[in-house]
Amino acid sequence: MMQSRCSNVHNMEKHQVFKIRLLWDKIDKLLHLKDSHVKGLNYIPISNSVHLGEDHKLHLTFKSKYNYDLYNDFGRVLPNIELQNNDDTYVIPHGHAAYDDNMMTLSNKEQELDIKINRIYYGNLREGSNYYWRYIYPIKLSRWFLQIESLIYIDEDGKHVGSSYLKTILGNSDMHIFLTERKDDCYMVIQSGSKIDSDEMYKRVFAITTTIGLVTGNIVGDYNIQMTSDDKDFDAIKSMVFGTLEETKYSYYRIVNNRWKDTYEMLGQYGYQKYAQKMIKDNVYDPKSDYDNKLVKATVIDRLMNLCYSNNDIVISASMLLEGSMLKMIYQPAFFHIVLETITSALMRSEMVEKKSVIESKEYNRIVKPVLLNALGSIKEIPNDAKNIYTHRIESSLNSPANKDKLTLFFEKYGYVLTNGDKEAISQRNSTLHGHLSNMKRELSEQRWKMYAVALRLHKLCCILLLKAAGFTGDILNNEVILGVKEACERKDSPFLNI
């Protein structure tokens, strides 16, 4: 017994420990409140209950006969409401609750009524104060961490939880990302390792969820629960906030995915993809497993999270890559052109890379610029306003390269050789940003597959820049082949691209 106990203590010291029992207790109680005293709507009886609906809102249900107060509240946004349950008080702020049913006006008939709630508070949170934070999201795929190199953690009961924990450093302090699962429910928890304010926590969470979304395709949503504590181990909860979010989404434009059976099945859509199915199977480490052994390294995830954290343009661009894959096809090329432009500009600023001049700057300033300015000054007929514009261009931008050269700069730096199709997609940038979203000489219906191919190429190129900036080396998915672009399959392009 003594040896076993010492062994458990040693393991607890070796691995990160997360106390999750109170987390589950607080969530379970919130999602299953019963018989609360309701202040603010005094006609609601003590026999009432709260449950989580399929719309990801909380629903307060009760039975009542028709009365004037009910009639007055029906159809309007409800005032501030308090649910008092034993020693706990939950506050629904004004504007975050409304009735969800039709009401019968028969005064003698009891009916069941439902108030839907999209935000509820528990405890006290002082604005601007620093706390330890937990952001908690429901996750449907409980083992998606198998796609990322991850760690083991231990809960307070000594249970080892594998392939479920990531650790990163953002803002000079630890951030922990882990999964906790009970029965059919699973949550992803993002926990701060130091006390920070709400704005800083939001910034870190956005960087983390965007990075995980880019790698796994899962855009977390439905609802989240934010917990705070004055205690690093969350032995006590200071506050808790439930909030409804947009629905969880899944991006089909995965760029890395070691669950090889997903890719294999997607390649079964068209007969001309059969060759690529064989290439997938031949390349798999273990055909008996759903997953191969090509995990995204934790160091890459860490660097990608830090890229998103340290640069607002990068994190918005990465988020646009996820959201853009769900837009209508005709919008996607223009959307991804903006993303490519933004990522390139952000990387140039962060790495202090200057655009190559058309000719060497010293030569331009010594030889070309004086001649152009003299020639411009000698033309008397040009109005002063026009002359000022031309002068500014000669002095500031005339020696700058074409934008397409700027957009290819980092591919050369990272050693990725652009295909002719890649170059064609990039070259459409100028046309797009000058107001041409399609080929005006052809019917739109004739262009859809080509627009699809261009969108997939641009998405791939944007992801390559982000992954290479984060230190990634290995295979990525070639979505032109996987999603059935016929020309790519007729060329027998590989479903993988090595970068």
Residues 226, 347 within the same domain:
no
Average pLDDT of the residues in 356-385? 76
Place of tokens 């209950």: 49
* Phi/psi of residue 110, nearest 5 degrees: -75, 140
CA distances in angstroms from 58 to 28, 121, 242, listed in the order given: 13, 12, 9
Do 418 and 307 share a domain, yes or no? yes
- Report helix angle 332-350 to 403-414, nearest 10: 70
> Is 255 part of any domain?
no
Q: What is the helix, strand, coil percentage profile of the chain, to 5?
A: 40, 25, 35
pLDDT for res 403: 62
State the first-to-last Cα distance of the chain, in angstroms, to the nearest integer. Answer: 53
Grade residue 11 by pLDDT with cuts at 50, 70 and 90.
very low
* Position 447 in a domain: yes
Q: Are 209 and 336 part of one and the same domain?
A: no
Average pLDDT in the 220-247 region? 97
Q: How far apart (Å, rounded) are the C-alpha atoms in residues 263 and 255?
A: 11
Residue 165 to residue 152: CA distance in whole angstroms: 6
In the chain, the percentage of residues whose pLDDT exceeds 90 is 65
Cβ 317 vs Cβ 336: under 8 Å: no
Q: Does 137 lie in the same domain as 283?
A: no
Whether 10 is covered by a domain: the verdict is no
Same domain flag for 244 and 282: no
Give the pair of three-digit tokens for residue 247.
């629905």
Distance (Å, rounded) from C-alpha 421 to C-alpha 292? 30
* In a shared domain, residues 321 and 446: yes
Which DSSP symbol is given to 367? I
Can you tell me the mean pLDDT for 228-247?
A: 96
Residue 136 within any structural domain of the chain: yes
Shared domain check, 143 and 79: no
Q: How many of the other CB atoms lie within 10 Å of CB of 186?
A: 18
- % of the chain residues with pLDDT over 70: 89
Residue 8 forms part of a structural domain: no
Q: Same structural domain for residues 336 and 227?
A: no
pLDDT at 375: 77
- Domain identity same for 133 and 270: no
Same domain, 289 and 427: yes
| Residue in 55, 495, 439 with CA at minimum distance from that of residue 278 | 495
Q: Among 104, 62, 60, which Cα is nearest to 83's?
A: 60
Residue 2 above 60 pLDDT?
A: no
277 and 342: one domain? yes
Residue 489: pLDDT above 60?
A: yes
| Shared domain check, 328 and 467 | yes
- Does residue 63 form part of some domain? yes
In a domain, 278, yes or no: yes
Q: What is the pLDDT of residues 175-191, one digit of tens each?
A: 999 999 998 899 999 99
Token couple for 378:
């000698």
* 258-271: burial string, b at 16+ Cβ within 10 Å, e else: bbbbbbbebbeeee
Total structural domains within the chain: 4
Q: Is residue 468 part of a domain?
A: yes
Least confident piece of the model among 137-141, 247-251, 478-482: 137-141
> Per the structure block, which two tokens stand in for 211?
């990075």
Domain hosting residue 130, numbered range: 15-23+125-250
* Of 58-62, 204-208, 348-352, 418-422, minimum mean pLDDT range: 348-352
Q: Is the model's pLDDT at 360 over the cut of 90? A: no
Higher pLDDT, 429 or 484: 484
